[in-house]
Amino acid sequence: MSELVIVANRLPVDQVIDDDGGISWRRSPGGLVTALEPVLRSNEGAWVGWPGGVDQQLEPFVSEGLHLVPVSLSASEIEEFYEGFSNGSLWPLYHDVVAKPEYHREWWDSYVAVNQRFAEQAAAVAATGATVWVQDYQLQLVPQMLRELRPDLRIGFYLHIPFPPSELFAQLPWRRQILEGLLGADLIGFQLAGAAQNFVRLVRNRVGHRTHRERVYLPDGREVRAAAYPISIDAAEFEDLARSPEVARRAEEIRESLGSPKKIFLGVDRLDYTKGIFARLRAYAELVEGGHLSVEDAVFVQVATPSRERVEEYRILRDEIDRLVGRVNGDLGQLGRPVISYMHSSMPREELAALYRAADVMVVTPFRDGMNLVAKEYVACRYDDAGALVLSEFAGAANELRQAWLVNPYDINGMKTALLDACQAPEKEQSRRMRAMRRTVTERDVAKWAGDFLGDLTAVNPDQDLTLRPDFDY
In angstroms, give the least distance from the CB of 377 to ligand GDG: 5
Which residue in the list 234, 269, 369, 445 is annotated as catalytic?
369
Q: With beta carbons less than 8 A apart as the criterion, state whether 317 and 271 touch.
A: yes
In angstroms, give the least distance from the CB of 342 to ligand GDG: 13
The H-or-E segment that residue 142 falls in is helix 142-149
Q: Where are the beta strands (DSSP E) in 29-107?
A: 46-50, 61-63, 66-70
In angstroms, give the least distance from the CB of 59 to ligand GDG: 29
Q: With beta carbons less than 8 A apart as the criterion, state whether 101 and 89 touch.
A: yes
The H-or-E segment that residue 224 falls in is strand 223-228
Contacts of 167 (CB under 8 A, 6+ apart): none
Which residue in the list 95, 160, 269, 445 is annotated as catalytic?
160
In angstroms, give the least distance from the CB of 369 to ligand GDG: 4
In angstroms, give the least distance from the CB of 135 to ligand GDG: 9
Contacts of 364 (CB under 8 A, 6+ apart): 267, 269, 372, 374, 375, 378, 389, 390, 391, 392, 395, 397
In angstroms, give the least distance from the CB of 243 to ligand GDG: 17
Q: With beta carbons less than 8 A apart as the criterion, state whether 107 and 88 touch.
A: yes
Pick the closer one to ligand GDG by CB: 139 or 374.
374
Identify the CA nearest to 321 among candidates 375, 369, 368, 284: 284
* Sheet containing strand 388-392, strands side by side: 340-343, 298-305, 263-270, 361-364, 388-392, 405-407
Burial, 8: exposed, middle or buried (Cβ in 10 Å; 0-12, 13-18, 19+)? buried
- The DSSP bridge pattern shows strands 263-270 and 298-305 to be parallel
Alpha-carbon span 403 to 430, nearest angstrom:
9
Pick the closer one to ligand GDG by CB: 261 or 370.
370
In angstroms, give the least distance from the CB of 428 to ligand GDG: 29
Alpha-carbon span 49 to 68, nearest angstrom:
8
Pick the closer one to ligand GDG by CB: 373 or 418.
373
Pick the closer one to ligand GDG by CB: 305 or 442.
305
In angstroms, give the least distance from the CB of 238 to ligand GDG: 9
**C-alpha radius of gyration, the chain, whole number:** 23
Residue 160 designated active-site: yes
What is the DSSP code (8-state) at residue 88? I
Pick the closer one to ligand GDG by CB: 264 or 371.
371
Cα distances from 337 to residues 41, 188, 294, in angstroms, run 49, 49, 10
Pick the closer one to ligand GDG by CB: 231 or 242.
231
Distance, first Cα to last Cα, the chain: 30
What sign has the CA pseudo-torsion 231, 235, 237, 238?
Answer: positive
Pick the closer one to ligand GDG by CB: 253 or 427.
253
Q: With beta carbons less than 8 A apart as the criterion, state whether 379 and 434 touch.
A: yes
Residue 152 designated active-site: no
Pick the closer one to ligand GDG by CB: 226 or 293.
226
Which residues sit at the interface with ligand GDG, rule CB under 6 A?
Answer: 29, 31, 160-161, 231, 268, 270, 303, 305, 346-349, 352, 369-374, 377
Active-site residues, by number, are 160, 369
